[in-house]
Amino acid sequence: MSKIPDYARIQEHMTSFVPVRPEEMQKMEKIAEDSDFPIIGPAAGYMCYQVARMIGARRVFELGSGFGYSTAWFAKAVRENGGGLVHHVVWDEDLSSRAKTHLAALGHEDLVEYHVGEAVQTLRETEGPFDLVFNDINKEGYPGSLPVIAEKLRSGGVLIVDNLIWSGRVFDEEERDPSTEGIRELTRMVIDDPAWVSTLVPVRDGLLIAYKQ
C-alpha cells in the first residue's frame, strides 16, 4: 500500500502547479516569508483567482486585505473579466500604503479602491451588491460578519473564507479560544443554511467556498 504524503508535501505539490507569478508578486511572497506575515499564498491565491474568473466577478470586496497579495489575485481576475473594482480593506495605514505600492507596480492601481477602517463596518457602508466577498478578518469576528456579507453579496455570488482548518486547531475539542470557536461557528452557520452551497477546500489553511443561491 502506498504511503499518503503529509499535509506539507501535498501543499507543496499543489503550489507546483501554480503558473509563475509576476516578479512583484514573487517579491510579496518573499516579504511574507521573511517577516512571517500571513498571506494566502500562491495555491490559495490562484484558486481565488480561478473562482473569480469562473463567475465573471467584476465587483470584489475583501474583508482583511493585508499588504495586497490576495488583492493582486482578485485584480488580475477582474481585469480579465473586463474590468471593475476590488475593495482593499485594512485597519492599518502602513499596510494600505504598502499595498498601494505593490499593486501600482503590478499595474492594478485603476482597479483597486483602498479603505482604512474596520472591515465589516466598511462593507456595511459600501454600496453593493458584490460578485465575490473574501473574508480574512480576525476569526472571532467571523460569525458576526456573515449577515452583512449575505446582505451585500448578489444572488449567484461567491463567498470565500480563509483559515477554516486553522492549523488543525478546529479538530481539537480542547481548543475553545475565541478565534477557533469563531471559525467553527461560521462553518456551522454556512453549512446549515440552505441559502448557501458550500464546500471546504483543504488548500493551505483551508478555504470555505460558498455559492449564494
For residues 119 and 89, the answer to whether their CB atoms sit within 8 Å is yes
Residue 65 has what pLDDT?
A: 93
Residue 100 has what pLDDT?
A: 97
Residue 98: pLDDT over 70:
yes
**What does pLDDT average to over the chain?**
95
Residue 120: pLDDT over 70:
yes
Please state the pTM of the whole predicted model: 0.95
Residue 7 has what pLDDT?
A: 87
Residue 66: pLDDT over 80:
yes
Domains defined for the chain, CATH in brackets: 7-212 (3.40.50.150)
Residue 49 has what pLDDT?
A: 98
| φ/ψ (deg, to 5) at 6 | -70, 170
Residue 90: pLDDT over 70:
yes
Q: How far is C-alpha 114 from the geometric centre of its chain's CA atoms?
A: 16
Q: Which three cell numbers stand for residue 148?
A: 452583512
Residue 3: pLDDT over 70:
no
- The Cα–Cα gap between 63 and 202 comes to 21
Residue 78 amino acid letter: V
Residue 41: pLDDT over 90:
yes
pLDDT-based confidence at 1, cuts 50/70/90?
low
